[in-house]
Structure 1
């Protein structure tokens, strides 16, 4: 097994990487690697190298060109669930290929996350990206009110969908994924209890199209994972055909 390590781009000095104390502890004490051991270095922005461990640094040997990223950039706009539910979302959806997380505060959101929570989410994303052999680290924005998030994303040219329940007149997200799409996709999922009618109407005015995730009512933690799985399966199937 070849281990992966995420670095900050500023750590790279030509073909060398200056390792932090925490990274050295992980490589030497946790993984028990010795000088001369090989591992993989990634900067979280799509660049991946084979590397060899020296005393307090790593030498970059060659670039790895095999891509593990989805052909479409998926952004999840998630109304924060209660408890630690968003941690599970970040971990699973990072493994499935999500590029960006926008945590939002909706009318029915109960969680008011601290800055420490946000840092923990970002750490989980790094760990999940390393584990799943991704090339990039998903971006996780600071939590923002849902109407403000809609305003910021309104002018961005992308396919935008908001997941709703108990509306027989809307199509399943899968049907939309069969159509020609732009190279990016934004999908919004609601909190426990769902979006309010006003929130749905505001999203529609901002260019979002309501979609269904099926006849069953999914938990706030389950819906984002389902969406990421669906987009991943459709995207990778199309890229292989």
Structure 2
């Protein structure tokens, strides 16, 4: 089934064994993927389930094309624990690629934040764009889960969320800091083998301020280094997530 195309849908689109496709999804299957009636593909609900599906005409007339679910597919491509990224928004459209590549690396939830040195002030339309990018990246990378992207928040307000009951339990938190003598992220991960979830925070162009670092540490974050070189704001999350991936995948073998 590796050669079959994949389509992410919302669970509410499923009614018994039928998936009622949106106009955009029908256009994507027909015009972009060039699938015809009777051809098979994989449907994923973004919450962990995959099905083998067949494209069919909707005889009820509610929509042009529907998908018929033929069989559930058992697959496990996710990391063994949740991986959360707090990312100070980089300038321009750079966060688009952070979302795309971080989704490929297994992030389950994004917290885009505005910090003291953040240059970008995104419009509400950006969130919908990021959600679309995350969905496409999840399809491409054969993820079972489409990551959640939170509304853009102010940095200190986001930290406060991790002191609340919902986000404070059983998660190891790391804030990546440049130009420092902190322990390497890799060393910290190897020292702790009982993580139930991991939170990674990466800064903006120019890095975190001292006040921001101190606030994170006070909230239970461990300050860590990604190495001696100074990484760009769009590079740091990918380096950090790659390190986490290597450790978790090795443990899961």
- Secondary structure at the aligned position of 1:26 is classed as helix
* 1: CA distance, partners of 2:74 / 2:53: 14
The equivalent position to 2:86 in structure 1, one of 77, 81, 85, is 77
Which of 60, 70, 74 is 1:65 aligned to?
74
Asked if residue 171 in structure 1 is aligned to residue 187 in structure 2, the reply is no
Separation in 2, partners of 1:223, 1:201: 20
Match of 1:13 in 2: 15
Alpha-carbon distance in 1 for matches of 2:185, 2:163: 20
SS at match of 1:151: helix
Alpha-carbon shift at residue 218 of structure 1 (Å)? 0.6
User: Following the alignment from structure 1 to structure 2, what is the Cα–Cα distance between the partners of residues 200 and 19?
Assistant: 46
The yes-or-no answer on 1:92 pairing with 2:105 is no
Q: Could you tell me which of 191, 194, 204 is aligned with 2:217?
A: 204
Out of 133, 154, 157, the position equivalent to 1:148 is 157
Q: CA deviation at 1:110?
A: 0.6
Instruction: Give the conservation status (yes or no) of the 8 Å contact 1:93–1:224.
Output: yes
The Cα RMSD (Å) is 0.9
1:217 matched to 2:226: no
Q: How many residues align?
A: 239
Contact 1:81 1:110 in 2 (8 A): yes
Please give the per-residue CA displacement for 1:139-185, whole angstroms capped at 9, x wherever unaligned: 111110000000011241210111112221x1100011112232210
Structure 1: unaligned runs, 5 residues or longer: none
Give the structure-1-normalised TM-score: 0.97
CA contact (8 A) 1:159 1:181 kept: no
Of 100-109 and 152-161, the range deviating more from structure 2:
152-161
Aligned to 1:23: 25
Distance 1:91 1:148 in 2: 25
Which 4+ residue blocks in structure 1 deviate beyond 3 angstroms?
A: none
Which digits, 9 at most, give the CA deviation of each residue in 1:10-69, with x for residues without a partner? 100111111111111111122121111010000111111111110121111111111111
- CA drift at 1:132: 0.5
For residue 198 of structure 2, give the secondary structure of its aligned residue in structure 1. Answer: strand
- Counterpart for residue 228 of structure 1: 241
